[in-house]
Chain A
């Protein structure tokens, strides 16, 4: 079992979620996050329009899903396809190992828990 966490711009949220679900993920969890990285942050107006400054963060989302090892390439392709623009700040995909999953309702563990 692998956990895939992808961090993308907030306006890409729906496209990525739809692509990941269509590629076979059983579910996703989405968290809104503030991020800094290679992406350019917007200029924000201050002082009643008399000045402007760089925003402290970009508005991003962290989309997490857990899939079978064999599904990983398909899911990663789906994310790349839906979130790619080619500019710095498109986001990142992180794949990590999962030790155990337990479904609270059915008490099933492993693949059956998803």
Chain B
């Protein structure tokens, strides 16, 4: 066995070294040898030819780039944050399984994003099919530069940043005129990659204690391909929710679904996929008969804290630069998280007599998830209202789910699904034209025809994502259950022992 692995390693590394040497000497993958060897040949990126004939990348903003490196790292930290949150909410016999699924999905989703995820979600649009999927230009991060930003070159003095930057902009024709045009293209891909990693991880809360490890990994790969990447493309990658297809009245300004940081793309998709998964898999053994309560409340609270912290990369980072919107998104996120926490704890206090701390942590996540689509569009009072809506609607959803005896074990649907849906609809109501200097974002509260149209677009967009996610996730899991040897659910015996020992042979807490 060792000899086989050694042979495989030597052969593959030799082959890869040769391929890499070729790519430098032969100009493979569009790379050109010479002083401009970094040129990717991607026409959607911002490159210009200098007087010596070399292709040079447009200028980037070092401040924006530094912020986006930090924001990407903050969002990536949310994935282990989810592991701590979910790990505390499960019973102790399934805790290793939750942490394990999270870590391995982080690895799988990162590689999948590099391989074909980024291009399906954000590949350039050429034809009708690209209403639904990106083109394959960026397969394997081909043509994704770590120097050049996206967009076409033009005068640096005409960029958006030039309007508010204190420091003098360079007076030259070397700056991207588009968004996101102040950071390298690869950093934009990295930031979006952290979203593609956390979204499938959020789903595992619904399937804990009963889904096979092998099945969840394959499910996540298929689900990302058929749900996350297309929906991200619809809303963020120039697909049909962003290109004016949903424009109800072309004479009015609103023409696309407002989703600043992923209320529909991230939270509706993961939440409603979780509901579908919980219904396909069925209830855990003994559900409703024996209590299945969090085994470690401090872990739940710590996890909620890590998520709150990481959300400051998630929402403000979605501006993909530093300006007033970034600052506003930070404050809006904090207000809604706080109000969601307070609302939930007060409701549980009034409803059952004691302030629940697991409930408070859940309210935090509800507030954060609900404000996500609105974080760049509403003002502070709008955020307060969304925080209250998050706490009360998600509280009602969790109570409703329990009454229905749906075993969405860790309330992914109640908190993320219903929170994302509430937020995506409410951004159409509460969006304020006082946030963007362009006057974009007119909600129904203004009482204008534009506001009514925006509200309509939000409802159509949100419900489309809900329906698509439910249908496709149901389909994927039903097919997987049919073709998987023995089904995607573990045996009752394994479930009784707990997935930690049955699937991994490891325990969270060892007392010997």
How many cross-chain pairs have Cβ atoms below 8 Å apart between A and B? 56
Contact mask for chain A residues 29-49; partner B; CB cutoff 8 A; 1 contact, 0 none: 000000000000001111111
- Interface status of A51 (Cβ within 8 A of chain B): yes
State A51–B402 Cα separation when bound (angstroms). 9
Whole-angstrom CA separation of A76 from B351 in the bound complex:
45
**A46 engages B359 (CB within 8 Å):** no
A83 to chain B, nearest CB (A): 28
CB distance from B287 to the nearest CB of A (A): 12
Within B346-361, the residues touching A (CB, 8 Å) are: 347-348, 351-360
Q: How far, in Å, is B55 (CB) from chain A's closest CB?
A: 56
Q: Known interface pairs A51-B402, A56-B291. Does A45 touch B358 (Cβ–Cβ under 8 Å)?
A: yes
Q: Does B344 contact A (CB under 8 A)?
A: yes
Contact of B266 with A by CB under 8 A: no
A50-B348 in contact (CB<8A)? yes
Asked if residues A45 and B356 are in contact (CB atoms below 8 Å), the reply is: yes
- A52 and B395 contacting across the interface, CB-CB below 8 Å: no
B427 within 8 A of A: no
The interface centre, meaning the residue of A46, A48, A52, A56 with most chain B CB atoms within 10 A of its CB, is A48
Question: Closest CB of chain B to A55's CB: distance in Å?
Answer: 8
Interface residues of A in 34-84 (CB under 8 A from B): 43-53, 56
Contact between chains at B399 and A47 (CB < 8 Å) = yes
Given A44-B291, A44-B293, A56-B291, CB of A50 within 8 Å of CB of B358: no
With contact pairs A45-B358, A45-B359 given, residues A50 and B293 touching in the complex (Cβ less than 8 Å): no
Task: Give the total of A residues in contact with B, Cβ under 8 Å.
Answer: 12
A34 CB → nearest B CB, Å: 13
Given contacts A45-B358, A45-B359, contact A50 B352 (CB under 8 A): yes
What are the residues of chain B within 8 A of A52 when measuring CB–CB? 352-354
A45 touches B352 (CB 8 A): yes
Answer yes or no: B500 CB below 8 A from chain A CBs. no
In contact, A51 and B352 (Cβ under 8 angstroms): yes
In the complex, chain A residues whose CB is within 8 Å of the CB of B351: 49-50
In B335-376, which residues have CB < 8 Å from any A CB?
344-345, 347-348, 351-360, 362
Q: How far is the CA of A46 from the CA of B353 in the complex (A)?
A: 13
B411: chain A residues at CB < 8 Å are 48
Query: Is the CB–CB distance between B402 and A50 below 8 Å?
Result: yes
Chain A residues whose CB sits within 8 angstroms of the CB of B345 once the complex forms? 49
How far apart are B505's CB and chain A's nearest CB, in angstroms?
A: 27
Contacts of A56 in B (CB 8 A): 290-291
Does A49 lie within 8 Å of B359, measured CB to CB?
Answer: yes
Closest CB of chain A to B398's CB: distance in Å? Answer: 5
Instruction: Check B399–A46 contact: CB distance below 8 A.
Output: no
Instruction: Verify B352–A48 contact, CB threshold 8 A.
Output: no
Interface centre among B351, B353, B356, B358, by most chain A C-beta atoms within 10 angstroms, is B356
- CA–CA, A50 and B344, complex, Å: 9
Q: Do B353 and A50 touch (CB < 8 A)?
A: no
Which residues of A have CB within 8 Å of B344?
48-49
**In whole angstroms, what is the CA distance A48 to B355 when docked?**
11
Contacts of B359 in A (CB 8 A): 45, 48-50
> Which residues of A have CB within 8 Å of B353?
43, 52
Contact A46 B362 (CB under 8 A): no
Q: A45-B352, A45-B356, A45-B358 in contact; A51/B399 too (CB < 8 A)?
A: yes
Complex: how many Å from CA A44 to CA B347? 17
Report how far A114 CA is from B41 CA in the complex, Å.
88
Interface residues of A in 1-46 (CB under 8 A from B): 43-46
Chain B residues lying within 8 Å of A44, measured Cβ to Cβ, are 291, 293
8 contacts between A and B (CB under 8 A): A45-B354, A47-B402, A48-B414, A49-B348, A49-B352, A49-B355, A49-B357, A52-B353
Q: A46-B293, A51-B402, A52-B353 are in contact. List 14 more A-B contacts (CB 8 A).
A: A43-B353, A44-B291, A44-B293, A45-B348, A47-B402, A48-B356, A49-B344, A49-B351, A49-B358, A49-B362, A50-B351, A50-B359, A50-B399, A53-B291
- Seen from chain B, the residues whose Cβ lies within 8 Å of a Cβ on chain A are 290-291, 293, 344-345, 347-348, 351-360, 362, 395, 398-399, 402, 411, 414
Which 8 residue pairs are nearest across A and B when measured between Cβ atoms?
A: A49-B359, A49-B356, A49-B348, A50-B399, A48-B362, A45-B356, A47-B402, A52-B352
A residues near B (Cβ < 8 Å) are 43-53, 56
